[in-house]
Chains A and B, each alone.
Chain A
Amino acid sequence: MDKAEAIIAALGGADNIDEIEPCATRLRTVVSDADLVNEAGLKAAGAFGVMRSGNVVQVVVGPDADTIASDIEDLLD
């Protein structure tokens, strides 16, 4: 499973992801159900850290965030 697939799975699957946007160092995502987010899974997928505030989950992936976000968007389409 590649990084984009692993991140989608750890965010609770494609259906749980309402929004995903890259920043210089992180993916800013909005999920439907924050309880489905698996932080250990995100770290296993290569995330340096995870910050959560309600349904907003920021996944710190480093400067490849834009590439990873477009890979994820391709898989979500």
Chain B
Amino acid sequence: MTRVLSPVAGQVVGLAGVPDPVFAQAMVGPGTAVDPERAPGQAIAPVTGTIVKLHPHAFVVVDDEGHGVLVHLGVDTVQLKGEGFELLAAEGDAVEAGQPVVGWNPAAIEAGGRSPVCAVVALDAPADALSDVKESGAVEKGAELYTWR
């Protein structure tokens, strides 16, 4: 069982609150999303595991049960080509849940005309594998968003 933690502080909006159909329709998996505080910050690893993919604007951590969690920072942020993002870890690194992975500024993303909403997706999970999924309300960085059986 994996406890998936919020990579950022903010307001939980659910996957349906992500202005992008791939996430909103859970095409890559179920999960939730957080509208982050508009202040410079560091997105943390949602689980303890290995960083198997690391882009400036998105990363995947796979835990020792094989659960891969995608953290996607903002919508269409691939177009920024890394500008405004600072990598604090490397692909292949072992990380602890809560360890900073990417530094960014949601206010700057929004000022550039993009949504900074952060999707936290349980990759390839059947929807019923998740429980206690937080869909609304305030969340602190590092607080639990959902449990993955």
Contact = CB atoms under 8 A, between A and B. Distances in A.
Given A24-B72, A63-B70, A49 B53 contact: no
B127 to A, nearest CB: 14
Given A25-B70, A26-B22, A48 B27 contact: yes
A53 B126 CA distance: 28
A25 B72 contact: yes
A52 to B, nearest CB: 11
Interface residues of A, number: 13
A62 B78 contact: no
Given A63-B53, A63-B123, A24 B27 contact: no
A48 B78 contact: no
Interface residues of B, number: 17
Contacts of B60: 63
B55 A24 contact: yes
Contact of A24 (B25, B53, B124): B53
B57 interface: yes
Interface of A: 21, 23-26, 48-49, 51, 58, 60, 62-63, 66
24 contacts: A23-B78, A24-B53, A24-B57, A24-B58, A24-B70, A24-B72, A24-B78, A25-B22, A25-B70, A25-B72, A26-B22, A49-B21, A49-B22, A49-B27, A58-B22, A60-B22, A62-B28, A62-B124, A63-B28, A63-B52, A63-B60, A63-B70, A66-B53, A66-B55
